[in-house]
Amino acid sequence: MYISNYRRKVDAVFFFFLFFLLFCLARLFFIQLFSSNYLAEMAKKQHSLFLELEPVRGGIYDCNLKAQAINIAMNSLYASANEILPKDKEAVINKLAPILNLSHTYLKDRIYRKKSFVWIARKIAPDQSEQIKNLRIRGLGFLRETKRIYPNGYLASQIIGFAGIDNAGLEGIEMTSDKYLRGEAGWAVFLRDARQKKLEIWEKMIPPKDGYDMILTIDEVIQYIAERELDKAYTKHHAKGATIIVMNPYTGAILALANRPTFDLNEHSQVSKDRIRDRGLCDLFEPGSVFKIVTAAAAFEEKKVTETDRFFCENGRYKVGPHILHDHEPEGWLSFREVIEKSSNIGTVKAAQILGPDTLYKYIKLFGFGAKSGIDLPGEISGLIREPKAWSKISIAAVPIGQEVGVTAIQLVTAMSVIANGGQLMKPYVISEIKDKYGEMIKVFSPQVRNRVVSAETAARLRKILAGVVAEGTGRLAKIEGFSAAGKTGTAQKLEPNGTYSHSKFVGSFVGFAPAEDPLIAVAVVMDEPHPAYYGGVVAAPVFKNVANDVIRYIRSTQKVIKPKVADEDKKAS
């Protein structure tokens, strides 16, 4: 009996282990046939770390290769949240919060995620990085990333723009040229040890392709001069806004462009759209008397008027339809030269009446108004010019003197450049070259003529008259000691919300070039709602004077080539 019981127990144990062995064999067989790929992939993930390799964003430089936007290497903190033990997570949050100045709620949301990779803080300061490394917390790691830095802060902020946390362009050149600047990301698979610590051994790698460098037409020195003088006037005249553009009249290259108010490119995250927007391209305003250059150019080109033709200016009051047109000072008989020099509204309108609406409209379009200039910056608008069939009975008394039209500062400076360069409308641009990191040329941007507006002879005649505006007329505060200058003042009433002209809000402007006989630069200065002084000859002309004076001396001292080779017929005519 005892032996029988013993044998049954032995058999039970034997069959138990036999069945267990068969179960294990079956399980191994199942794993080998049906789960091997899954488990191999899991093992691979545990021992491999896939990382995207960031390309170095291309730099932005001025025409003298002075850096305007560069990159510096920074540490970015990430967490392998699955590696941090649940009991340790709260302590980790409490240690990181004061170092990173992040809220407990934000860190808790990140640390408690069931993920093997989650960003905690991007591009942190070196001292923060060192403090966190000294904590020796399992599950935290660093990756090297680049941070966009703008060495000059406020300088040319609306031109350059800025890139976001992921180095994607968001404004200005950074945005419009992002496809050239950003480069192409690479990737690498790194090996990890049993504790999931990254080893500096990569299994596979495709290196990133760095972005291209952008060379601008902007000159850092000229940009500084322009911003310095604009800022003085903006503050002095309590203006709502202000713009200055300095352009090479022969090529269309923008040498400086600035707006007020402005912002620091390194502190852009909390800046309002009002400070970011490029007023020179996207602010619409009536130009006032600056627009008289279009009427004068059309009258000369069509041979309807000469400089010596005399116009009776009605002693300051002239009725056109139901409207009474006034001059700022009553005038009797004036030659057409004096009409422009003294900025007579009545004399200009009488010349426009000789031309007729259709002819005047044709030259308005030829000068580039009512269309985008094509500048390689974002946000440009086309302005507002109505066709003659939409004009009212009094439009012929308004349009020739810069009313019932909407323009931008970039349109004004390109129009004035037509007179300065001998009659050609140039396409303005701010990017001159694109190069790779080895200095090899990728793309070159050359001057482009949009169309011929007037003959070189007409342009030369207007240059003399506009020089008289500065010497003897409304632009006397634009006189430059040692150099001649030419230009036109503008003072325009702004429209109130009810559609009537304001008696307290004005736009004062001055657009000109210097030296008058052989221009090196064209400059537009626009002051929005200056007070108490608001005349363009008072608030804008002095800015032109100070900028032109310093810029011309700088250009001559550096022997910069401003004027390219021109056609023989243009040389002869001028």
Distance CA 518, CA 520 (A): 7
Give the position of tokens 């400086």.
256
> What token pair was written down for 425?
């409308």
Distance CA 530, CA 332 (A): 31
Q: How many CB atoms lie within 10 A of CB 73?
A: 11
Write the burial class of residue 13 (CB in 10 Å: 0-12 exposed, 13-18 middle, 19+ buried). Answer: exposed
Q: Among 558, 473, 471, 565, which Cα is nearest to 515's?
A: 471
Q: Among 440, 451, 370, which Cα is nearest to 417's?
A: 451
Is 289 among the catalytic positions? yes
Of 289, 344, 417, 509, the active-site residue reads: 289
Secondary structure percentages of the chain, helix, strand, coil, to 5: 40, 25, 35
Q: Among 221, 220, 160, 222, which Cα is nearest to 523's?
A: 222
CB 165 within 8 A of CB 57: no
Distance CA 426, CA 9 (A): 105
Phi (first) and psi of residue 388, to 5 degrees: -55, -30
Give the Å distances, CA to CA, from 538 to 236, 269, 337, 423. 12, 36, 22, 29
* Start-to-end C-alpha separation, the chain: 135
Cβ within 8 Å of residue 278, ≥6 positions away: 158, 159, 172, 257, 259, 377, 378, 379
CB 97 within 8 A of CB 73: no
Active-site positions read 289
